[in-house]
Amino acid sequence: GRRLNWEALGQLTYLSEVKSSIAEIFSPIYLLFYVDMLILLVWQLLNRKIYVDYFSTKSLKSAKYLKFDPFFKKKAVTTVTALALTVCSLSVVFYPDKGNKMAMTREVGILTTQGYELLTFWQKKHDKLAPTDKLTQATINRLKQIEPSSWPKYFGAASGKNIILIQLESIENFLINFTVDGEQITPNLNSLVQESLYFPYFYSQIGQGNTSDAEFITNTSLYPLADGAIAKELKNIKYPSLPRLLKEQGYVSLTFHANDVTFWNRDNLYPCLGFDKYYDKAFYQDEDPIGRWGSSDQVLFAKAFPILKELHAKRQKFYASLITLSSHHPYNLPESKHRIEIPDEIKGTLLGNYFLAVNYTDYTLGQFIQALKAHGLWDNTVLVVFGDHFGLRNTTDTFYKNTLSKLLGRDHDQLDSLNVPLLIRIPGLKAQTINNVGGQVDLLPTIANLLGLSLDKQLVFGQDIFNHSDNLLGFRFYYPEGTLITANHFHEAGSRYGFNIFNHKPYEDKEFFLQQENRVKSLLALSDSYLNYLAENQPLP
């Protein structure tokens, strides 16, 4: 998991929204981290009592030293804090890879690392990345070692079609064609694979903003921040984006999400991305709510469909983004919405609840697809369905881990957590499984290729995954900076190993992976510079 750092503390205002998820993942064993602090507190209180008892037997003249001057106290605390942070920062001056905070924590300790990180956190608030002459598409392509295709496959294959993009909450790719006791968890996604171009090696690239970062990445082909949710940290920027690209072609862009639009500052993010209108909790009115998040996915699709149907009837081309919610952690789906039987051994567990929630979301997706087919939208629409981020993470629960391993036939690992489904259904194109590696940063250029649109006027850090078998994907926040996926391997920065993405087997080549780390770090730094450039030069009107 990710360390609790100073940037993460900036998200405390969102705790009330995710308290059920926190309660689910909290373990009493975590309290052991605070035992030393408790001992120090007791020791301090006992010593204070001894000092007071001692001085109380002395003269009143001596007792005056017990009274701390407020100014002196504040100055002393500031001085001690500054000294402590200085010592912490000096202890890591010679550490070779300061970008890899997890490895640094292992080597010099968590307190030292956090002290150093606090200093850099303060410094980052005042530092700005300067735009350079390297902010060009040619530079990005050289770093990724790709060449633009002269005659790209599928170019313009969906020209003029409506675009519906469905972002599935917490759904991992292993669930496709996965069964538990003979029950398909995602029967409708399984059927859609038979009608679509399916990418089994597609990966989530979110940062601290999770679902909102997935929305940002897919609509801009830019990387999220290393720390902090992009919707919260960067505001009022006119991003080059898919909605703006489509507006030039006469499209209207809408986004549907049943949660409150102010969560993760989406009320600011959507105008930044160029959406013409958003529909949130105020529109859905918490009809048929699930947990604290908002209306069920059934309602999400049911209330969005008439709007899309009306646009279609008016011959108005549209781009609609729908973000599901019912499969959100901790997966507390009402029993009335359970649609499959799961083994008794996992009923009531996080794993069992996850399967039930995903199955329900899959069911609502199936209903939506049937509506598109029944009302004439299916043959004029490109349907893009993908997962936003992981649904299952590492845990200390042995039963959970062993049961999942038994069901999968192998351990559920880091690759599984990153690997999310991507299905693109295009009218008139034959279904196919494409093993090219891709990430969320690749969606915008891939859709642009399908629509026959030029990207000459904007920078993209992704690529059209129909036409490139090689790739270089970077990952942030949940992994050390420099963590990457190539066309063949996953590598966590700071390790000498990688893992084959096709069979999950380890592969050792320290020099090769160090070279790839340097490439992806340069790519991420370039994305950060471009974001800074946009912040300074392209404000919202």
Instruction: Please report where in the chains the tokens 């009320």 appear, as a residue.
Output: 267
Rg (CA), the chain: 26
d(CA 411, CA 402): 8
Task: Report which residue type is found at 237.
Answer: I
- Of the candidates 186, 211, 361, 381, the residue annotated as catalytic is 211
Which pair of tokens denotes residue 448?
């642009």
Taking CA atoms, 442 is separated from 218, 222, 239, 247, 426, in Å, by: 7, 9, 16, 20, 17
Q: Is the peptide bond before 330 cis (omega within 30 degrees of 0)?
A: yes
d(CA 196, CA 192): 6
d(CA 137, CA 537): 18
Taking CA atoms, 437 is separated from 407, 432, 467, 486, in Å, by: 25, 15, 11, 8
Give the HSE-up count for residue 101: Cα atoms under 13 Å, Cβ half-sphere. Answer: 24
Asked whether the beta carbons of 317 and 160 are under 8 A apart, the reply is yes
- Residue-wise burial string across 20-58, b where 16 or more C-beta atoms lie within 10 A, e elsewhere: ebeeebeeeeeeeeeeeeeeeeeeeeeeeeeeeeeeeee
Which pair of tokens denotes residue 469?
């078998």
Catalytic residue list contains 132: no
Q: Are strands 484-485 and 277-279 parallel, antiparallel or unpaired?
A: unpaired
d(CA 465, CA 153): 10
Positions annotated as catalytic residues are: 211
